[in-house]
């Protein structure tokens, strides 16, 4: 079985596209896939009842991405890959990267190819480029490797160590968004107003640096405060929606140590940091339909 996990960006989304560090966690929820020899190449995606053929120039990004994935394997037989997706698409949890990692992992297994999880992440980058145009590489890296890590574009993941697990509660706003469009919007803002946007990135980088220390020290109160400082900066880049803000406020009122949107924004998911496991379960009720608990050990 191939597997690609979803991810939550604790701090640093968007700035990471432009070379700043970000901190992310891999979650247990993700995509599983199985590949088998077949008459012709086909990708099946169970929750959406989709059957996709590889297509180098088609309209459907999944067809183009599947073509990219298959072209990594020379002299291979025809393959049918069936994937089971447990993540909402366009929601900031790295769904497309998780599908790419799971598909490649499944094909490797079917063809008896041994590849490290780091090399698997690298191999999935071209898949991600089909969807996101200019991905930082954080989604495919976290999807393949997991854990809690600092990521900087073009550099290996730096795993963080802590003796205290992070109790996260992920809430879904019900609004989906396009990462490609949100990344393009920030790039336009950077071009038109470099002073303002670089200031925002600097602010985010300071939060990331301090959050790394807070995680390593197991100081989740400090981490929560740093998370709460991020939405203002993200709103200044026009990434937060009022629904995501409201969900963050509701989580804080219900005892979260901190909360913020995660991923591309403009909809999608937010998360809250809970002090303990039982409080995470209570926060899940507050965050409503589609919310789930993710416990992550660094």
Shorter beta-carbon distance to ligand PMV: residue 179 or 241: 179
41, 105, 139, 228: which one is catalytic? 139
Q: Does 30 bind ligand PMV (CB under 6 A)?
A: no
Q: Would you call 156 helix, strand, or coil by DSSP?
A: coil
Q: Cβ of residue 218: shortest distance to ligand PMV, in angstroms?
A: 26
Closest to ligand PMV by CB, 32 or 143: 143
Do the beta carbons of residue 292 and residue 169 sit within 8 Å? yes
| Residue closer to ligand PMV (CB basis): 14 or 212 | 14
132 binds ligand PMV (CB under 6 A): yes
Active-site residue, 55 included: no
- Interface with ligand PMV includes 140 (CB under 6 A)? no
Measured in residues, the chain has a length of: 298
Helix (H) or strand (E) holding 33: strand 22-37
| Distances, alpha carbon 241 to alpha carbons 2, 21, 247, 260, in Å | 34, 24, 10, 11
Total of chain residues touching ligand PMV, rule CB under 6 A: 16
Q: What angle do CA 124, 130, 133 make, to 5 degrees?
A: 105
- Least Å distance, CB 77 to ligand PMV, is 32
Shortest distance in whole angstroms from residue 264 CB to ligand PMV? 3
Cα 28 to Cα 4, 65, 87, 205, distances in angstroms: 9, 24, 10, 27
Q: Which stretch binds ligand PMV (CB under 6 A): 114-122, 134-142, 188-196, 276-284?
A: 134-142
- Give residues 82-121 in contact with ligand PMV (rule: CB under 6 A): 92-94
Q: Find the binder of ligand PMV among 10, 11, 17, 160 (CB under 6 A).
A: 17
Q: Does 157 bind ligand PMV (CB under 6 A)?
A: no
Per-residue DSSP letters for 200-256?
HHHHHHHHHHHHHHHHHHT-HHHHHHHHHHHHHHHHHTT---HHHHHHHHHHHHTT-
DSSP bridge partners of 79: 37
| Dist CA 91 CA 9 (whole Å) | 12
Residues in touch with ligand PMV (CB under 6 A): 13-14, 16-17, 92-94, 132, 135-136, 138-139, 179, 183, 263-264
């Amino acid at each position: 079985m191939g597997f690609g996990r979803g991810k939550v960006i604790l701090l640093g989304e968007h700035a990471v596209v432009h070379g700043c560090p970000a901190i992310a966690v891999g979650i247990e929820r993700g995509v599983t896939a199985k590949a088998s020899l077949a008459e012709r190449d086909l990708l099946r995606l169970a929750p959406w009842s989709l059957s996709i053929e590889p297509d180098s120039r088609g309209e459907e990004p999944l067809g183009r991405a599947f073509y990219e994935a298959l072209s990594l394997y020379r002299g291979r037989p025809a393959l049918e890959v069936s994937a089971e997706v447990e993540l909402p698409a366009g929601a900031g949890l790295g769904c497309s990267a998780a599908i790419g990692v799971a598909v490649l992992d499944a094909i490797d297994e079917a063809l008896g190819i041994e590849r490290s999880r780091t090399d698997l992440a690298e191999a999935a980058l071209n898949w991600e480029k089909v969807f996101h145009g200019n991905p930082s590489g954080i989604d495919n890296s976290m999807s393949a490797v997991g854990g809690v890590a600092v990521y900087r574009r073009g550099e290996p993941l730096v795993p963080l160590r802590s003796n205290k697990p992070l109790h996260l509660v992920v809430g879904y706003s019900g609004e989906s968004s396009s990462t490609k469009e949100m990344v393009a919007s920030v790039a336009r803002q950077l071009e038109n107003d470099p002073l303002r946007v670089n200031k925002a990135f600097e602010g985010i980088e300071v939060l990331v640096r301090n959050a790394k220390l807070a995680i390593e020290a197991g100081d989740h109160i400090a981490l929560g405060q740093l998370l709460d400082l991020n939405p203002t900066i993200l709103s200044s880049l026009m990434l937060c929606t009022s629904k995501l803000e409201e969900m963050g406020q509701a989580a804080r009122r219900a005892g979260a140590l901190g909360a913020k949107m995660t991923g591309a924004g403009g909809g999608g998911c937010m998360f809250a940091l809970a002090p303990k496991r039982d409080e995470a379960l209570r926060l899940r009720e507050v965050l409503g339909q589609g919310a789930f608990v993710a416990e992550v050990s660094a």
